[in-house]
Amino acid sequence: MLQRSLVLLKPDCVERRLMGQVISRFEAKGLNIVAMKMLRVSPELSKQHYQEHVEKPFYPSLEEFITSAPIVALAVEGLDVIRLIRDMLGATNGLNAAPGTIRGDYSSSRQMNLVHASDSPESAKRELALYFADADFCEHELLLTKSLRAKDEA
C-alpha cells in the first residue's frame, strides 16, 4: 500500500552532519521525498508531536533536546513505507539497534537516536499535518520508478 511517513532528522543528525547520509539511504531504497524543510522545533510543537510522552519522566529532557538545534522534516512516500522506515532505523536505543540499520550504524544513545519516523498510519497523518501544509507536498512521478519494481507490485 502506498503510504507517507513523517521523518525527522533530529538535532544530533544535523549537528553531526549526517543529514546527507541518512537521506541517501532513503533515496537508495527507492523511496520518494515529497516534502522537506529545515526548522527549529518550539516547545509547543514538541508537546504536540510527542503528546503520548508529555507525562513521562524523560519528557523534559526530550523537549530540551529536540528544541536545542534545527531539525529537518521530510515526508517520505513509498509502498509500506511506515514499517519499512522503522525497520531501516532500527531499535529506538542506538545501543540495541542492529548493525546495518541507521541507528545501529551511527547512534549509541536512546535519546540521540538521529531520526524519528511515524509508527502507524494514524500517527503519520497526525504528524505530517504538524509539519506540512497541503501546498508543501510536491507530487511527482519519478521517471526511474519503472527500474525499481514491476508494474504489478502496486
Q: Is 111 in the site for ligand CMP (CB under 6 A)?
A: yes
Window 52-91: contact mask with ligand CMP (x via CB under 6 A): -x----x---x-----------------------------
Q: What is the DSSP string of 26-75?
A: HHHTT-EEEEEEEE---HHHHHHHTGGGTTSTTHHHHHHHHTSS-EEEEE
Q: Is 4 in the site for ligand CMP (CB under 6 A)?
A: no
Give the cell for residue 15: 549537528
Look up 116 and say whether it is catalytic.
Answer: yes
Cα–Cα distance for residue pair 81/142, rounded to 1 Å = 17
Q: Do 126 and 133 meet the contact criterion of CB atoms below 8 Å apart?
A: no
Edge-to-edge strands of the sheet including 32-39? 32-39, 71-79, 2-9, 115-117
User: Which of these ranges, 32-40, 76-84, 110-118, 130-138, lies near ligand CMP under the rule CB under 6 A?
Assistant: 110-118
Residues in the interface with ligand CMP (CB under 6 A) total 8
Q: Is 33 in the site for ligand CMP (CB under 6 A)?
A: no
Binding residue for ligand CMP, selected from 116, 124, 131, 132, defined by CB under 6 A: 116
Q: Is 107 in the site for ligand CMP (CB under 6 A)?
A: no
What SS3 class is residue 108?
Answer: coil
Nearest distance from C-beta of residue 90 to ligand CMP, angstroms: 11
